[in-house]
Amino acid sequence: MKKSLLALAAIGAFASTAQAQSSVTVYGILDLGYVGSSYSGTSATANASSTGAGSTTAVGGAGLKQTTSGFGQSAESTSRLGFRGSEDLGGGLSAVFTAETALNPDGSASAFAFNRQTFVGLKKNDIGQGTIGTQYTPIYDVMTSTDAAGLNNLVGNAVYGTSLQSSTGTYNTGLAPYTSASASAVSINATSGAYVTRASNAFKFQSVRFSGFQGQLFVGQSNMNNQQNAAAFSTATNAGGPANNSIFGANVDYVWNKLNVVAAYQTFRAYSVMNPTATAQTLANGTAGSYGQNMSDSQTYAAATYDFGILKGYAQYITRKAFSTLNDNTQTQRSAYQLGARSWITPTVSVFATYGLGKSSYLQAGTAYANFRTTQLGADYYLSKRTNLYALYGSTNQSSPGNAALGIAGVSAMNYAVGMRHTF
């Protein structure tokens, strides 16, 4: 009897030790409310908007004016569900993982929309963390702390461009073959495609903060080589030959007292024998399927914040250039500046405002371009640390000399949303 009790006690002690060495946390966001929008545009073709279900809905077209309203989702934050875990391996080393999916709580079909991030890696307490999988890019990681609007999903953010949306949230997802969603973020125009948010097939190293500095290195690789006969190889749409894709990115984050300064750079390069003479139309209104055909896509971000006490000020700059490595005449570029401020006017009420200016150019400089202005306003009322009510407004206005062949013309759009967000 005593031996049995001792054995049970030993098993219980071992189980407690094992449990203490590893942990899994379930976390997420549910964001639902009432969302409205209006759109007025004269572009030659419809502009695609990614909805909460991950599909696309045309919200623009030649001479189109459209308004939408209804109960929607993910206006302030994309709804999500995630699992985060770690296991203590001893000596300050631990194994870590994250698996996170976007949620579609307002959809009639599956509640799961797409993979936001899924990775596994190792963490050393005094060095940093290295992970492999689908992960946020260097620009996104430093933008989360330097955007006054909190990276919401309404129009009107010049540096965090999302597609024109209708009644639900939009998602800036990534480029093939690094995207994990059906939506495209390749198009670079006045209202979308400011940068790539996440990428798959990637390795990320994030250092610990030392003397105020923290840095990140981001690399990705996705290569393939198909062998086909000469007849098939010569066609413009064949899948034969090499298809090599690579990512490189890095960022630095510096904090000194109330000042935070960040900078980030990331570039996507792809080589393929498929359709090497991509047209400007493909570049300007590209899809995930048309990207990766001898293309280079570089993105740069810099920002600074300062906490004045009564309010926190934000200054941001972003630029993105995509071009054909085989044809210098095929390129598009987008640059934008944005100023913002956020203030806690009471312990439970926070307000913010942003204003941005930018320009998109297509083909060669001066051939076709669009200037745009953006504005966002918002307020949050916190019922608790995890639950808040919000009211948001965003607008964007694009003007250009017009180019019907590329679908570049005057566009104006407005979004508003009132809702409730719960984090867990």
Please state the domain extents for the chain.
24-423
In which band, very low, low, confident or very high, does the pLDDT at 88 lie, cut at 50, 70 and 90?
very high
DSSP E strand stretches across 137-229: 198-207, 213-226
Strand duo 213-226 + 93-103: pairing: unpaired
CATH number at 24-423? 2.40.160.10
pLDDT, residue 224, reads 59
pLDDT digits (tens, 9 = 90+) for 267-285: 988 766 544 444 333 333 3
Torsion-angle region of residue 276: left (phi > 0), alpha (psi -120 to 50) or beta?
A: alpha
pLDDT digits (tens, 9 = 90+) for 40-66: 765 433 333 322 222 223 333 445 677
pLDDT, residue 39, reads 77
pLDDT digits (tens, 9 = 90+) for 225-254: 555 544 444 444 444 445 567 889 999 999
Other Cβ atoms less than 10 A from the Cβ of 185: the count is 29
Three-state DSSP class for 11?
A: helix
For residues 328 and 391, which has the higher predicted lDDT (pLDDT)? 391
Instruction: Compute φ and ψ for 144, nearest 5 degrees.
Output: -60, -30
Instruction: Compute φ and ψ for 231, nearest 5 degrees.
Output: -65, -45
In which band, very low, low, confident or very high, does the pLDDT at 329 lie, cut at 50, 70 and 90?
low
Instruction: Reply yes or no on whether the pLDDT at 68 is more than 70.
Output: yes
CA distance 407 to 424: 43
Q: What number of CA atoms fall less than 13 Å from residue 75's CA on the CB side?
A: 32
Residues 157, 59 contacting (CB under 8 angstroms): no
